[in-house]
Amino acid sequence: MMPSLNRYSDVGLLILRVVVGAIFIYHGLLKWQIAEPNAIMTILKFAEPLGGLALILGALTQLASLGLSIIMIGAIYMKMTGFGQGPFNPSGTFAPQGATGWEFDLMILAGCIVLLIMGAGRLSIDSMIWKKTV
C-alpha cells in the first residue's frame, strides 16, 4: 500500500526493539525491590533486564525474543487465572477496574513475536556479527 515506507523497515524494527527492551528493563528492575522474592521472581529479575538489553542492542534478538515471549505468555496466563488463584476467565480480567489487565502483556507479546520472526534488522549487533560474505 505504501511501498516507499518499506525502506524504513530496519528503523521500525529498531524502534520496536528499543521500546520493548526498555519496558522489560524497567519491569525487571522493579522486581529487585521485592523484599522476599520467590524462585520465579528471582529468575525474572535477571531475565527481563538482560533480555531487554539484548533487544535494545540487537544482540541475540531472536533468542531473547523467544525467552521474553515465554515470560509474557506466563504473565498473561497468571492474569487470566487471577494469578493462579481462580478459574480461567479471559474476558473478566482483560481490563479490571483499578488494575492492569492482560492487554498490555498481549501487546508486548506481539512485539516479541514480531522480533522473533523478523529478527533485529540491519541496525543491530546481530547484523554486524552475522553478516554474510558473498
In the chain, domain spans: 10-126
Question: Per-residue pLDDT tens for 103-118?
Answer: 899 999 999 999 999 9
Dist CA 119 CA 55 (whole Å): 10
Do 87 and 81 touch, CB atoms closer than 8 A? Answer: yes
pTM recorded for the entire structure: 0.83
Q: What is the pLDDT of residue 89?
A: 54
Q: What is the pLDDT of residue 84?
A: 54
Dist CA 112 CA 96 (whole Å): 24
Question: Per-residue pLDDT tens for 83-100?
Answer: 655 555 555 555 555 556
Q: What is the pLDDT of residue 134?
A: 38
List of the chain residues with pLDDT < 70: 1, 82-100, 132-134
